[in-house]
């Protein structure tokens, strides 16, 4: 794949994978992106997962048409991008490795080698000339590992963005970008909003015409759309005015309350209502929607003097990703000694800028007429 006259795509598609990072369902696979910049000097940007080493080395050979690369630029040491470094060096022993000091420290951990004779250590805003192409490196610690850097090519105006602006899904699958990019962002990078904001500030003044991430498609149309979404996500603003109802239900009574609330919200003019049955849905999608929408209802049962395990897991996912800036409501169910609202409030107490709605629905086993009135009132409050 040709990106520009002198930049070629040499990455691979992985349709063998079922869980990315051992936890995220990827029904449309993953792309491990790598790029070759061909100039007076030739640079390869990042490698690929170990299962695709041979395919990647073949891609390099085909792209370079018999030439040898001068540099391997390592932007990120996660194994899906770094596992083929040693085979690359074996194939091209004269190539130098360009990376941060932290990256070389990690190489020693992963490979028990520090490549001391091949190191070119770069710091924030250092540059490397390839001829017409000049690469400037910007450190991006904790987006989403501490060694990460991104690279800007001033000649073709390309930002090689490491894991930033990535998404789930292989490149040979046609799907809408935002949904899987959002799930990817909040699952993997969501905790590090401050660090993403710092990176955005570093690159905002650059003349960027194309973004080349390590996962997902190359982006080259209306880049403001992608930058604006990343600004929204990393500053923990709500992307859409709507309501997520996240719930668990053992025997269906809590679900009855949730369905009644959904119906009342729609009747009151709330156009965007999403439901997440936490025992059955993709947890990462539920987390994505919790950050996407401006309001959230937590509905669950008291369970072993605590809350239902899937709700506990869900709230833990939110709080570890700096969940904030939401309007929050609660529905609890318990046949005796109900305490779910108390537990959920306690789990959320360190989250910032949560506006708790006064109306709380407490169900004793099954919906009562009073509960139905409370749900009607809750819907009106949520739709204000």
Give tens-digit pLDDT for 182-203. 999 999 999 999 999 999 999 9
* 2: pLDDT strictly greater than 90: no
Which CATH number is 7-234 given? Answer: 3.60.15.10
DSSP 185: I
pLDDT tens-digit readout, 138-155: 999 999 999 999 999 999
Buried b (16+ CB within 10 A) or exposed e, 166-187: bbbbbbeeeeebeebbbbbbbb
280-333 pLDDT, tens digit each: 999 999 999 999 999 999 999 999 999 999 999 999 999 999 999 999 999 999
Please give the pLDDT value at position 37. Answer: 98
pLDDT by residue (tens digit) across 349-368?
Answer: 999 999 999 999 999 999 99
CA 254 – CA 257 distance, rounded (Å): 5
Per-residue model confidence as pLDDT tens digits over 63-111? 999 899 999 999 999 999 999 999 999 999 999 999 999 999 999 999 9
pLDDT of 22 higher than 90:
yes
Mean per-residue pLDDT for 6-12? 98
Q: What is the pLDDT of residue 114?
A: 84
Residue 123 banded pLDDT, cuts 50, 70, 90: very high
* pLDDT for 1 beyond 90: no
HSE-up (13 A, CA, CB side) for residue 137: 23
Domain positions in the chain are 7-234, 240-382
φ, ψ for residue 37, nearest 5 deg: -105, 120
pLDDT confidence of 51, banded at 50, 70, 90?
very high
* Residue 375, pLDDT above cutoff 90: yes
**Mean pLDDT of the chain, nearest integer:** 96
Q: Render pLDDT for 210-247 as a digit per residue (tens, 0 to 9).
A: 999 999 999 999 999 999 999 999 999 999 999 999 99
Per-residue model confidence (pLDDT) at position 265: 97
At residue 273, the pLDDT reads 97
DSSP state of 188: I
Return the percentage of the chain with pLDDT > 90, whole number. 97
Q: DSSP labels for 208-270?
A: -SEEE-SSS--B-S-HHHHHHHHHHHHTT--SEEEEEEEE--SSSHHHHHHHHHHHHHHHTT-
CATH tag for 240-382 (out of 1.10.3720.10, 2.40.50.100, 3.40.50.360, 1.10.3210.10): 3.40.50.360
């Amino acid at each position: 794949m040709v990106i520009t006259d002198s930049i070629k795509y040499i990455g691979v598609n992985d349709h063998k994978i079922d869980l990315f990072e051992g936890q995220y369902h990827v029904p449309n696979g993953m792309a491990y992106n790598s790029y070759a910049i061909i100039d007076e000097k030739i640079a390869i940007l990042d490698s690929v997962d170990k299962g695709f080493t041979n395919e990647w080395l073949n891609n390099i050979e085909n792209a370079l048409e018999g030439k040898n690369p001068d540099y391997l630029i390592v932007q990120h040491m996660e194994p899906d991008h770094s596992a083929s470094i040693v085979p690359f060096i074996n194939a091209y022993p004269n190539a130098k490795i360009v990376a941060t000091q932290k990256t070389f420290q990690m190489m020693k951990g992963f490979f028990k080698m520090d490549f001391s004779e091949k190191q070119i250590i770069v710091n924030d805003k250092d540059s490397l000339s390839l001829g017409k192409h000049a690469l400037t490196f910007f450190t991006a610690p904790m987006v989403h590992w501490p060694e990460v850097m991104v690279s800007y090519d001033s000649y073709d105006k390309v930002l090689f963005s490491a894991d930033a602006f990535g998404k789930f899904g292989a490149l040979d699958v046609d799907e809408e970008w935002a949904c899987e990019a959002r799930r990817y962002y909040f699952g993997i990078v969501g905790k590090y909003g401050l660090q993403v904001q710092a990176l955005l500030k570093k690159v905002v003044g650059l003349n960027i015409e194309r973004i080349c991430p390590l996962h997902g498609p190359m982006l080259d149309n209306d880049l403001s759309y992608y930058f604006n979404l990343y600004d929204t996500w990393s500053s923990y603003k709500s992307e859409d005015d709507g309501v997520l109802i996240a719930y668990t239900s053992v025997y269906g009574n809590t679900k009855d309350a949730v369905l009644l609330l959904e119906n009342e919200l729609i009747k009151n003019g709330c156009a965007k209502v999403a439901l997440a049955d936490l025992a059955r849905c993709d947890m990462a999608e539920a987390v994505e929607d919790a950050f996407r929408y401006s309001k959230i209802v937590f509905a669950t049962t008291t369970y072993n003097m605590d809350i239902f395990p899937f709700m506990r897991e869900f709230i833990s996912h939110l709080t570890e990703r700096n969940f904030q800036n939401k309007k929050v409501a609660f529905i609890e169910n318990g046949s005796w000694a109900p305490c779910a609202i108390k537990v959920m409030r306690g789990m959320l107490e360190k989250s910032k800028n949560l506006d708790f709605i006064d109306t709380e629905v407490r169900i004793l086993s099954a919906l009562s007429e009073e509960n139905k009135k409370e749900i009607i009132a809750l819907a009106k409050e949520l739709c204000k």
